[in-house]
Amino acid sequence: MNNFFPVGKPNAKTIYATKEACEAAEGQACYDITGVDLETHDLVDAPLLDGQGQPMFEQIPVLDENQQPVLDENGQPTYSQGPQIMQKVFQLNAQKAAAKAAVQAQVQKVRNRTDDRIFCLGIIDEIAAINEDLNDPQLMAAIVSNANFVAIILMLLTGGLKTARALMVAHGPSLYPQATVDAFVAKMDAQIASQQ
């Protein structure tokens, strides 16, 4: 199915199934935008080519002084070569494409950071639950006052997932059983891998 649109018309939003319907409704030339990203492509003039890839030209009838066609030896009208025939085509605008890619990369970066922060808050909740399950106020106090524990929590609070992972690998075993540390690290690795 084709999608026709009045490219260049301010505030135009409707896409039509046929060129005729589009031009009748919009009152201007419409173009097939199927598969075209209008944010990265420009509508430009380009030569119309024949089947051999050669530019095509208008054929202008040759007229005599009485404005009658000049005929060749076979009695057929003769023609002279007129202007090159042009057509409208969509052409990638490298500058627009680069700008869009940069914006998309920035948006993805923000999304990743947001996902990391949500994930890190979930890890903090799990750590809090583990500390509560210790049911040992003195041990829990020793853990939460430990500088390494504080560093891990601070990294998690700020969404510093990779740094929090490194701290968990280096200092987690001094705070929790190795199996618990390994489980946290595995979750962190999965989150990091999901953004690559």
Using 50, 70 and 90 to split pLDDT, how confident is the model at 140?
confident
CA dist 96 and 107 (Å) reads 16
Q: Give the SS3 label for residue 135.
A: coil
In this predicted model, what pLDDT tens digit does every residue of 29-75 receive, in sequence order? Answer: 999 999 999 999 999 999 999 999 999 999 999 999 999 999 999 99
Task: Kindly give the pairing relationship between strand 31-32 and strand 41-47.
Answer: unpaired
pLDDT at 139: 87
Residue 172: how many CB atoms within 10 A of its CB? 21
- 185: part of which helix (H) or strand (E)? helix 178-193
Please indicate, yes or no, whether the overall pTM of this predicted structure exceeds 0.75.
Answer: no
**Residues in the chain, how many?**
196
In angstroms, the CA 128 to CA 121 distance is 10
